[in-house]
């Protein structure tokens, strides 16, 4: 894989910060965007930037066609059998709230249980806390084993009693640990529970096949996979979407409206009220093309290489605690760590002065930080366009932090 050639497509990677070449290691927060994505958005606004669905004129027909073609492209990308299973949302957060509100609040009742983990991003955990509070359903957690840094799934059959839905991530954003999703989905289905998969960190870094996984709901964000901000996807099995109430009401999601009542459009429009992020969808189309050109297997391999390099350097250093699974094959491209005696925010500030961007703090995962017994961590998260040189710069910054605080 010719990383240097790919890097030329990403203007962000050629910028400078604090008068140094910029090293971007906060890809779990959002990825850099290639010129192809920026160009696709610009082309829409300049050449045919009108609304979809509503116009009978040529430009609107073109925008509508490209919008719908992107839905089909997304379906192919995750191997969904039917593009009507693809709902465009504002991001993973909205997708998560949509499922919790339109499925959870309608179909759960007192006596039911929701099984999740304390490793979830707040946008995945908090909506289900709210569902349980409103419906009387019980929120249960798969135990976490602090020794291994993994979930302890040995008691899953017991835990799944009365569980109607399991809510789990494919890769945690805080440490990069990847729970055994396939086992959890199989076990959940054997016990009659549905599975909601937070794919925000997964779909952007690994090949994902929703048909093979047989997952019921899955969501992810375009901006974490080279695409624009303000756009996400909810995948769901069609019968579930058909049975669910709309999440938002307004134009485009209706079939008939009378003064006192309305009926709904079919899926997916039923869940896409209002003017969508058309430019974003067309940019996302270019992002998927780009990822397919690189190849998701190559993305995943390169990120594994970067992680191995970082872990190897960490092992040779003293006073670095690395978080996540001890079994490195269960880790995605996230290097989450703390330096003895140095607060992660202080480290982040020193690294920033060195031109290296990482994320510090609790990573929208406070319960996970509580399990780890830390207030936060320093997180370097990789994308396929990162180089070993980027990681060398990270460790140079770590040395500098040591000399300042040591």
Task: Provide the token pair at 254.
Answer: 């209706």
Provide the β-strand partners of residue 322: 337
Min dist. Cβ of residue 219 to ligand PLP (A): 8
Q: Which two tokens stand for residue 89?
A: 């949302």
Helices and strands of the chain, counted as H and E runs: 15, 19
Nearer to ligand PLP, 233 or 350 (CB): 233
Short-list 228, 227, 276, CA closest to 248: 276
Rank residues 122 and 138 by Cβ distance to ligand PLP and give the closer one: 122
Binding to ligand PLP (CB under 6 A) within 378-397 occurs at none
**Among residues 235 and 395, whose Cβ is nearest to ligand PLP?**
235
Q: Is 123 in the site for ligand PLP (CB under 6 A)?
A: yes
Query: Which residue from 214, 133, 211, 94 is spatially nearest to 166, judged by alpha carbons?
Result: 214
Give the C-alpha separation, 358 to 282, whole Å. 29
Which of residues 121, 206, 270, 379 is near ligand PLP by CB under 6 A? 121
Decide if residue 325 touches ligand PLP (CB under 6 A).
Answer: no
Q: What angle do CA 323, 205, 236 make, to 5 degrees?
A: 110
Q: What's the distance, CA 272 to chain centroid? A: 20
CB of 337 to ligand PLP, least distance (A): 18
What sign has the CA pseudo-torsion 21, 23, 29, 31? Answer: positive
Which of 27, 93, 325, 386 contacts ligand PLP by CB under 6 A?
93
Query: Is 205 one of the binding residues for ligand PLP (CB under 6 A)?
Result: no
Q: Which stretch binds ligand PLP (CB under 6 A): 40-48, 120-128, 315-323, 384-392?
A: 120-128
Stretch that binds ligand PLP, among 198-206, 256-264, 329-337, 386-394 (CB under 6 A): 198-206
**How many of the other CB atoms lie within 10 Å of CB of 209?**
12
Q: Strand 194-198 relative to strand 217-221: parallel, antiparallel, unpaired?
A: parallel
Q: Is 334 in the site for ligand PLP (CB under 6 A)?
A: no
Say if CB 127 and CB 272 are below 8 A apart: no
Shortest Å distance, C-beta 222 to ligand PLP: 8
- Verify whether residue 364 is a known catalytic residue: yes
Q: Closest separation between CB of residue 181 and ligand PLP, Å?
A: 13
Q: How far is the CB of 10 from ligand PLP (least distance, A)?
A: 19
Structure tokens at 290: 């780009």
One-character DSSP codes across 75-118: HHHTT-S-GGGEEEESSHHHHHHHHIIIIIHHH--TT-EEEE-T
Minimum gap (Å) between residue 317 Cβ and ligand PLP = 27
Nearest CA to 359 out of 337, 342, 374, 339 is that of: 337
Work out which of 70, 173, 336, 381 binds ligand PLP, going by CB under 6 A. Answer: 173
Using rule CB under 6 A, residue 360 touches ligand PLP? no
Beta carbons of 330 and 151 less than 8 angstroms apart = no
d(CA 222, CA 31): 9
The footprint of ligand PLP on this chain (CB under 6 A) covers a number of residues equal to 14
Residues 6+ positions from 319 with CB-CB distance below 8 Å? 339, 340, 341, 402
> Which is closer to ligand PLP, CB of 10 or CB of 202?
202
Range 28-67, binding ligand PLP (CB under 6 A): 28
Residue 91 found at the interface with ligand PLP (CB under 6 A): yes
Q: Site for ligand PLP (CB under 6 A): which residue of 201, 302, 325, 344?
A: 201
Cα 294 → chain centroid: 19
319 prior amide bond cis, ω within 30: no
x-or-dash string of contact with ligand PLP, 141-160, rule CB under 6 A: --------------------
Q: Which is nearer to ligand PLP, 71 or 363 (CB)?
A: 363
List the catalytic residues: 364
Residues that bind ligand PLP (CB under 6 A): 28, 91-93, 121, 123-124, 169, 173, 198, 200-201, 221, 232
């Amino acid at each position: 894989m010719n990383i240097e050639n790919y890097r030329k497509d990403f203007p962000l990677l050629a910028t400078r910060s604090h008068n140094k070449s910029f090293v971007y290691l906060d890809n779990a927060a959002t990825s850099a965007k290639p010129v192809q994505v920026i160009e696709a958005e610009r082309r829409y606004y300049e050449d045919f930037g009108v609304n979809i669905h509503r116009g009978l004129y040529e430009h609107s027909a073109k925008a509508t066609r490209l919008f719908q073609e992107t839905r089909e492209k997304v379906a192919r990308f995750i191997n969904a059998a039917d593009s009507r299973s693809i709902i465009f949302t504002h991001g993973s957060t909205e997708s998560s709230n949509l499922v919790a509100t339109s499925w959870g609040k309608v179909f759960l009742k007192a006596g039911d249980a929701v099984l999740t983990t304390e490793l979830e991003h707040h946008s995945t955990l908090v909506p289900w806390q709210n569902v349980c509070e409103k419906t009387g359903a019980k929120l249960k957690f798969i135990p976490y084993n602090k020794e291994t840094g993994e979930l302890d799934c040995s008691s899953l059959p017991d835990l799944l009693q009365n569980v109607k839905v399991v809510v789990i991530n494919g890769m945690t954003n805080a440490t990069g640990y990847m729970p055994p999703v396939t086992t959890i989905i199989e076990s959940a289905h054997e016990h009659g529970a549905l599975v909601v998969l937070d794919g925000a960190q997964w779909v952007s870094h690994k090949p994902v096949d929703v048909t093979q996984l047989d997952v019921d709901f899955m969501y992810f964000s375009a901006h974490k996979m080279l695409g624009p901000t303000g756009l996400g996807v909810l995948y769901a099995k069609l019968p579930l979407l058909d049975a669910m109430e709309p999440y938002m009401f307004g134009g485009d999601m209706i079939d008939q409206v009378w003064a006192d009542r309305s009926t709904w459009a079919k899926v997916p429009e039923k869940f896409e009220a209002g003017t969508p992020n058309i430019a974003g969808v067309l940019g996302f189309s270019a992002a998927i093309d780009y990822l397919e050109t690189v190849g998701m297997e190559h993305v995943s391999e390169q990120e594994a290489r970067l992680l191995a390099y970082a872990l190897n350097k960490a092992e040779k250093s003293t006073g670095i605690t690395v978080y996540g699974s001890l079994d490195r094959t269960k880790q995605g491209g996230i290097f989450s760590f703390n330096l003895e005696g140095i607060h992660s925010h202080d480290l982040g500030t020193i690294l920033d002065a060195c031109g290296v961007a990482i994320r510090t703090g609790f990573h929208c995962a406070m319960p996970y930080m509580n399990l780890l017994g830390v207030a936060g961590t320093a997180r370097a998260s990789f994308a396929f366009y990162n180089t070993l040189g980027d990681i060398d710069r990270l460790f140079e910054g770590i040395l500098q932090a040591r000399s300042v605080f040591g």
